[in-house]
Amino acid sequence: MSDVLQKRVCRIGDRAALTKTFTQDDLDDFTRLTLDDNGMHTDPDLARKGIFRRPVVHGVLVGSLISSVMGTKLPGNGTVLQGQDIQYLAPVYPGETVTAEVVLTEIEEFDHYYIATLEGKCVNQDGVVVAKAVSKELMLKRLFEVGN
Q: Residues 80-90: pLDDT tens digits? A: 999 999 999 99
Q: How sure is the predictor about 50, in pLDDT bands with cuts at 50, 70 and 90?
A: confident
pLDDT of residue 39: 84
Report DSSP state, residue 50: S
CB atoms within 10 A of CB 132: 17
Q: How far apart are CA 107 and CA 148, in angstroms?
A: 11
For residue 82, the surrounding DSSP H or E stretch is strand 80-88
Read off the pLDDT band of 5 (50, 70, 90).
low
Provide mean pLDDT across the span 94-102.
97
What does the pLDDT look like over 107-123, one tens digit per residue?
999 999 999 999 999 99
Is the pLDDT reported for residue 1 higher than 70? Answer: no
Task: Provide the pLDDT confidence category of residue 46 given band limits of 50, 70 and 90.
Answer: confident
Domains in the chain (CATH in brackets) are 12-146 (3.10.129.10)
